[in-house]
């Protein structure tokens, strides 16, 4: 299989699955359904995600709690329900009895960017004008944007929402957004456990990288600061301890928990620059209490102007900490941006993106390079890394980002079996540049110029590199031969700026 990536550039055409023309999830047409129910003065009930135990999912609530669940519309909970009060805010959220902090941390990140929120929560929805109990939301899922229809019946116990709720009593966008994502993933139970990067990707279709925080690694301050300047979305995960997840440490950090990174900056403290990170706990409470926390005396060492601008002494789940303490308390940082430009502080139009869909069948799943006799059977994708302008070449290091994502074998997220996958990148020899596929001998006589780690348990492998100009071959592979799965290969290449 050979596909010239440079000839298949994404061009934003208005095909099904784009932001302007999303695919109708489960073939439900929001406009048609809403029009019919408004005309008949009826309230929509979604048969594809019914208000019953099946939509909550298995092993999430105890039997006695499940028996007490009542699905209620917001119009029955309060007299004056609103989808959004004023505008969406990161402080709206309060996590409920569902382990989806990874999803809520991602929501906290996107509230800063109105253009992303409008894509996810289409406008002209309310509980007043032509209300019919029907709403819709949009997500990017495995190469396509999908439009997801839901009814507004929400699971409650004793009249209170079980899962995410808004601190404003009559605001319901977080609960309805969570329900729509639960529908896409199969059930509420399917939202338990995950990575912030997964949700950020589904909210933006953007580029993401994960930075590992370890004692022997340099701190990623420069890249994080650069990412923030490019309006990137960021989240992070705290270290897992010996105790069970969600245990609050004496310093206020919750173990094995996802947080939103809401700001990155430096301040002058007694005349010296200090790097600070601001984080938000999606619980809406429980904050770091060490240096640079709300009550820290270190805030007296900064100017009155900075102290007034930055310090908000509220128990709202948001807090500052130093970069050093951050690296000691957290294991990874997820960064997601619309383009890879944040990687080298370049302009958005200096990168081109290509997406290809493929599949490993028994006859095209040759396994990793450990299987020398069959590796050549894997799909092969040709690409060209171009020469750059002199100024570009001098100003940047990275010029290639590759993502390999598995497509699921089940709608239910927790039933998906993600295979261990990876990819190798080979230089194409000049004498073989005109061949459609490279022969088996090419892979036994030469080594890849770069190769991803073999990643298991996650749906996507992402690596970024610098390669010299030339013809290359990307070979996505599974850990072992004869495995069957679908995948999406996305390549972002630094290109010459058109002047």
Find residue 24's DSSP bridge partners: 147
Which residue matches tokens 């092993």? Answer: 59
Q: What DSSP line would sit under 332-393, residue for residue?
A: EEEEEESSGGGGTT--GGGEEEEEEEEEE-GGG---STT-TTTGGGS--EEEEE----HHHH
Q: Residues 166, 185, 236, 281: which is the catalytic one? A: 281
Cβ neighbours for 64, distance < 8 A, ≥ 6 positions apart:
none
d(CA 352, CA 173) in angstroms, rounded, equals: 35
d(CA 154, CA 257) in angstroms, rounded, equals: 25
Contact 267, 275 (CB under 8 A): no
d(CA 227, CA 345) in angstroms, rounded, equals: 8
DSSP structure class, residue 432: G
Contact 469, 458 (CB under 8 A): no
| Beta-sheet pairing, 421-427 with 400-407 | unpaired
Residue 407, classed as helix, strand or coil, is strand
Cβ neighbours for 430, distance < 8 A, ≥ 6 positions apart:
none
Instruction: For residue 356, indicate whether it is catalytic.
Output: no
Instruction: For residue 21, indicate whether it is catalytic.
Output: no
C-alpha distances in Å from residue 255, one per residue of 42, 244, 249, 321: 46, 8, 7, 16
- What is the torsion angle, in degrees rounded to the nearest 10, for the CA atoms of residue 13, residue 19, residue 21 and residue 23? 120
Instruction: For residue 257, indicate whether it is catalytic.
Output: yes
Cβ neighbours for 76, distance < 8 A, ≥ 6 positions apart:
none
d(CA 172, CA 255) in angstroms, rounded, equals: 29
CB burial string 339-351: b at 16+ within 10 A, e below: bbbbbbebeeebb
Contact 288, 252 (CB under 8 A): yes
Instruction: Return the beta strands (E) in 408-484 as ranges.
Output: 421-427, 450-451, 460-465, 470-478
Q: Residues 136, 185, 236, 257: which is the catalytic one? A: 257
Q: Which tokens go with 104?
A: 């809520």
Side-chain half-sphere of 160: how many Cα atoms within 13 Å? 8
Which residue in 106, 126, 127 sits closest to 117, CA to CA? 106
Catalytic residues: 101, 257, 281
């Amino acid at each position: 299989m050979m596909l010239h990536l440079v000839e298949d550039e994404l061009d934003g055409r208005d095909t099904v699955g784009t932001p302007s023309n999303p695919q109708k999830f489960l073939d439900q047409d929001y406009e048609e359904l809403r029009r019919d129910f408004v005309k008949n003065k009826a309230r929509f009930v979604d048969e594809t995600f019914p208000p019953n135990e099946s939509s909550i999912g298995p092993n999430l609530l105890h039997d006695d709690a499940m028996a007490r669940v009542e699905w209620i519309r917001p119009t029955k909970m309060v007299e004056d329900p609103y989808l959004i009060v004023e505008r969406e805010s990161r402080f709206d959220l309060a996590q409920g009895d569902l382990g989806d902090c990874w999803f809520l941390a991602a929501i906290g990140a996107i509230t800063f960017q109105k253009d992303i929120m409008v894509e996810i929560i289409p406008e002209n929805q309310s509980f007043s004008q032509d209300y019919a109990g029907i709403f819709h939301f949009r997500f990017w899922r495995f190469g396509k944007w999908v439009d997801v229809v839901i009814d507004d019946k929400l699971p409650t116990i004793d009249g209170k929402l079980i899962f995410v709720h808004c601190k404003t009593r009559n605001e319901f966008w977080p609960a309805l957004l969570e329900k729509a994502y639960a529908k896409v993933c199969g059930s509420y139970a399917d939202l338990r456990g995950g990575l912030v990067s997964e949700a950020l990707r589904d909210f933006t279709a953007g580029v993401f990288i994960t930075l590992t925080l370890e004692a022997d690694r340099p701190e990623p301050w420069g890249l994080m600061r650069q990412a923030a300047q490019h309006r990137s979305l960021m989240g992070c995960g705290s270290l897992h301890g010996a105790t069970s997840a969600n245990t609050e440490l004496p310093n206020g950090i919750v173990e094995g928990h996802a947080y939103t990174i809401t700001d990155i900056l430096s301040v002058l403290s007694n005349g010296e620059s200090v790097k600070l990170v601001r984080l938000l706990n999606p619980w809406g409470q429980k904050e770091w209490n060490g240096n640079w926390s709300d009550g820290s005396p270190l805030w007296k060492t900064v100017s009155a102007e900075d102290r007034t601008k930055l310090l908000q002494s509220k128990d709202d789940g948001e807090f500052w900490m130093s970069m050093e303490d951050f690296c000691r308390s957290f294991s990874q940082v997820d960064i997601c941006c619309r383009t890879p430009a944040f990687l080298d502080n370049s302009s958005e139009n200096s990168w081109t993106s290509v997406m290809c869909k493929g599949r490993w069948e028994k006859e095209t799943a040759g396994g990793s390079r450990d299987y020398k006799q069959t590796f050549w059977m894997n799909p092969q994708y040709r690409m060209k890394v171009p020469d750059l302008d002199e100024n570009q070449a001098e100003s940047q290091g990275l010029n290639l980002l590759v993502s390999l994502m598995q497509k699921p074998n089940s709608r239910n997220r927790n039933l998906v079996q993600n295979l261990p996958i990876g990819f190798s990148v080979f230089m194409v020899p000049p004498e073989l540049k005109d061949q459609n596929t490279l022969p088996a001998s090419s892979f036994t006589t030469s080594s890849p110029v770069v190769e991803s780690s073999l990643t298991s348990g996650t749906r996507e492998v992402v690596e970024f590199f610098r390669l010299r100009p030339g013809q290359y071959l990307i070979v996505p592979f599974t850990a072992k031969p004869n495995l069957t799965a679908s995948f999406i290969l996305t390549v972002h290449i630094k290109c010459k700026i058109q002047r």
